[in-house]
Amino acid sequence: MKHEKYHFCRQRGSRGSLLVVRHLMRFIVAFIMCMVLCAGVYAGNDPVTAKFKDKKGKRIAVLVKASSPVPGSVIFTLKLPAGVKLEKASPEPGKYDTNRGEVKWLLRGLSPGTHKIKLNFSKNVNSDDLQAEIRYLNSVTGKLSIFPVGK
The residues binding another protein (CB under 8 A) are 71-75, 77, 86, 89, 92-100, 104, 106, 108-109, 135-137, 144
Residue 43 one-letter amino acid: A
Name the residue nearer to another protein (CB basis): 3 or 100: 100
Backbone angles phi, psi at 19, to 5 degrees: -60, -40
Please tell me the chain's helix, strand, coil percentages from 3-state DSSP, rounded to the nearest 5.
Answer: 30, 45, 25
Name the residue nearer to another protein (CB basis): 58 or 104: 104
CB of 25 to another protein, least distance (A): 43
CB of 106 to another protein, least distance (A): 7
CB of 49 to another protein, least distance (A): 17
Alpha-helical (H) ranges within 1-146 are: 2-44
CB of 102 to another protein, least distance (A): 9
Q: How far is the CA of 22 from the CAs of 8, 9, 11, 25, 26, in angstroms?
A: 21, 20, 16, 5, 6
Name the residue nearer to another protein (CB basis): 59 or 108: 108
